[in-house]
């Protein structure tokens, strides 16, 4: 017999692959351990949150909507500042748990052939450039980071997205975060016919659901935390309102466009419409005259004016023939009486108003059957 052959040395790629597999295995074991630890008292905690919320008279499905004019970003001096201003609105909405942002046109009907005024979008149709840009940036910020590449291709409106501060909302989960619910996108990964779909929810492995869904659709997935095999996760597709209704956790906002103030009310997504509407203006009555928790609501709407105020926006609406704006709203309030500056910018008014109204609003119990789905597709993401 000859001398024993020397074993071949492993290549760098082999070592690298083995290292990655071991690291992934350790992470999966750690994740399973976390799942088991957090699952012990989860059901009790969730029931406690809901019961405590209902005892306080605050239903987890009561909603707050704000309406802002798209023209406010025209007042910015540069494209970077336009983007940053939109980010300020998104941050304020997230901080105060706003469920819906309506971007409306307060300039009236604009001729389609007028340069630099209107633009045609495949999904949104013909709208003012400012309204389209504001709506797109708001949706971009609301979308979890790991999903943005699927819904937001390169676009001029998002050219300066790097200046935006992250929302860091509860549904913006990182890979190592443990959560009962996750936002995801339906993949086109091949699977047996009729055997469901694979959902990318920002984890190492996709989640399997039993429903056959259209690839590219944004969905909310409920993932059971009792699963031991993290390589083959399974879940169910649920309403995007379920995370908040079950656990009380804020789950982002929806964005829609309105061609005028009338459409803010007529295209309300909630059954029965807004039962509390509030207009904000320095010509309104003082908010100090409202007692705490006096404004009861299921679905509240707060409307803000642009550079010329709400009065000018009402005049530009061809469907409205009123001179007194107080006739349009349940309350017409000055949320910052005795202001030092002659004017308050809209992005400042949103923060001031939501802070003041937080003490005045008292949400009522709202049955789940009266709540429409908030996000069922990637409506403005194209």
Res 49: pLDDT: 32
Most confident of 7-16, 194-203, 278-287: 278-287
Please tell me the least confidently modeled range out of 42-51, 59-68, 153-162, 277-286. Answer: 42-51
pLDDT at 59: 36
Looking at per-residue pLDDT, the higher value among 85 and 40 belongs to 85
Dihedral sign computed on CA atoms, order 235, 238, 241, 247: negative
The CA-to-CA distance between both ends of the chain, in Å, stands at 71
Q: What is the average per-residue pLDDT within 6-33?
A: 61
Give pLDDT, residue 46.
34
Q: Which of 140, 139, 222 is nearest to 184 (CA)?
A: 222
Q: Does 16 have pLDDT greater than 70?
A: no
CA–centroid distance for 264 within its chain = 18
Q: In 3-state terms, what secondary structure has residue 84?
A: helix
Cβ–Cβ < 8 Å for 105, 129: no
Confidence of residue 298 (pLDDT cuts 50, 70, 90): very high
* Chosen CATH of 181-245 out of 2.40.70.10, 2.60.120.260, 3.40.250.10, 2.40.50.140: 2.40.50.140
Question: Residue 226 pLDDT > 70, yes or no?
Answer: yes
**90 confidence band (pLDDT: 50, 70, 90):** very high
pLDDT (mean) for 284-310:
92
Say if residue 182's pLDDT is above 80: yes
* Predicted pLDDT of residue 322: 85
pLDDT of the residue at 370: 42
Mean pLDDT highest for which of 38-47, 52-61, 108-117, 214-223?
214-223
- Say if pTM beats, i.e. exceeds, 0.85: no
Residues 132-160, mean pLDDT to the nearest whole number: 94
Residue 96 has pLDDT above 70, yes or no: yes
Confidence of residue 232 (pLDDT cuts 50, 70, 90): confident
Rounded Cα gap, residues 99 and 65, in angstroms:
6
Instruction: Write down the pLDDT at residue 3.
Output: 54
CA distance 170 to 240: 13
Secondary structure (3-state) at 109: coil
Indicate whether 1 pLDDT > 70: no
Residues comprising the chain, all counted: 382
What is the residue extent of each domain of the chain? 63-169+252-370, 181-245
**Between 90 and 196, residue with greater pLDDT:** 90
- pLDDT the model gives residue 72: 92
pLDDT at residue 122 in the model = 52
Tell me the pLDDT of the chain averaged across its residues.
80
pLDDT at 284: 92
- What is the Cα–Cα distance from 328 to 12, expressed in whole angstroms? 71
Strands (E), 217-334: 218-223, 233-238, 254-258, 276-286, 295-297, 299-303, 331-334
* pLDDT at res. 11: 60
pLDDT band at 191 (very low <50, low <70, confident <90, very high): confident
**Topology (CATH level 3) of domain 63-169+252-370:** Alpha/beta knot (3.40.1280)
> In 36-52, which positions are buried (b, 16+ CB within 10 angstroms) versus exposed (e)?
eeeeeeeeeeeeeebee
Residue 150 has pLDDT above 80, yes or no: yes
Question: What pLDDT is attached to residue 14?
Answer: 64
Q: 318 vs 141, which has greater pLDDT? A: 141
Instruction: Check whether 48 has a pLDDT greater than 90.
Output: no
| pLDDT range class, residue 119, cuts 50, 70, 90 | low
70 pLDDT band, cuts 50/70/90, is very high
Question: For residue 372, what pLDDT band results from cuts at 50, 70 and 90?
Answer: very low
User: Residue 319 has what DSSP assignment?
Assistant: T
In this prediction, residue 38 has a pLDDT band, given cuts at 50, 70 and 90, of very low
Highest mean pLDDT: which of 38-42, 145-149, 243-247?
145-149
Do the domains spanning 63-169+252-370 and 181-245 agree at the CATH topology level? no
Cα of 114 vs its chain's centroid, Å: 33
d(CA 148, CA 250): 20
Count how many Cα atoms sit within 13 Å of the Cα of residue 318 in the half-sphere of its side chain: 4
Closest CA to 237 of 225, 249, 219, 250: 219
Residue whose tokens read 């804020």: 250
């Amino acid at each position: 017999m000859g001398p024993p052959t020397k074993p071949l040395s492993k290549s760098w790629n082999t070592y690298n692959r083995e290292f990655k597999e071991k690291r992934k295995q350790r992470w999966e074991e750690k994740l399973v351990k976390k799942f088991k630890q957090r699952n012990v008292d989860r059901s009790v905690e969730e029931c406690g949150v809901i019961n405590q919320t209902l005892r306080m008279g605050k239903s987890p499905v009561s909603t707050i909507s704000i309406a802002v004019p798209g023209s406010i970003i025209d007042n910015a001096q540069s494209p970077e500042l336009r983007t940053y201003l939109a980010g300020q609105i998104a941050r304020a909405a997230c901080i105060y748990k706003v469920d819906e942002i309506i971007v409306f046109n307060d300039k009236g009907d604009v001729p389609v052939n007028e340069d630099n005024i209107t633009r045609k979008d495949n999904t949104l149709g013909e709208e003012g450039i400012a309204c389209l840009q504001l709506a797109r940036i708001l949706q971009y910020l609301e979308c979890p980071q790991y999903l943005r590449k699927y819904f937001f291709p390169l676009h001029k409106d998002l050219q300066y997205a790097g200046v935006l501060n992250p929302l860091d909302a509860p549904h913006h989960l990182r890979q190592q975060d443990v959560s009962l619910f996750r936002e995801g996108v339906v993949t086109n990964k091949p699977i047996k016919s009729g055997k469901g779909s694979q959902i990318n929810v920002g984890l190492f492995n996709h989640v399997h659901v039993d429903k056959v869904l259209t690839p590219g659709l944004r969905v909310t997935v409920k993932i059971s935390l009792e699963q031991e095999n993290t390589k083959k996760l399974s879940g169910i597709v649920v309403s995007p309102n379920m995370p908040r209704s079950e656990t009380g956790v804020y789950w982002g906002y929806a964005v829609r466009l309105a061609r005028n103030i009338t459409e803010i009310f007529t295209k309300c997504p909630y059954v029965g419409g807004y039962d509390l509407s509030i207009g904000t203006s320095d010509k309104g009555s003082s908010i100090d005259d409202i007692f705490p928790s006096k404004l009861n609501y299921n679905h509240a709407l707060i409307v803000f004016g642009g550079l010329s105020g709400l009065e000018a926006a009402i005049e530009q609406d061809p469907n409205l023939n009123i001179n007194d704006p107080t006739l349009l709203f349940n309350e017409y309030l000055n949320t910052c009486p005795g202001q030092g500056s002659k004017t308050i910018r809209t992005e400042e008014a949103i923060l001031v108003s939501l802070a003041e109204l937080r003490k005045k609003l008292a949400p009522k119990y709202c049955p789940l059957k009266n709540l429409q789905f908030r996000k069922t597709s990637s409506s403005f993401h194209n």
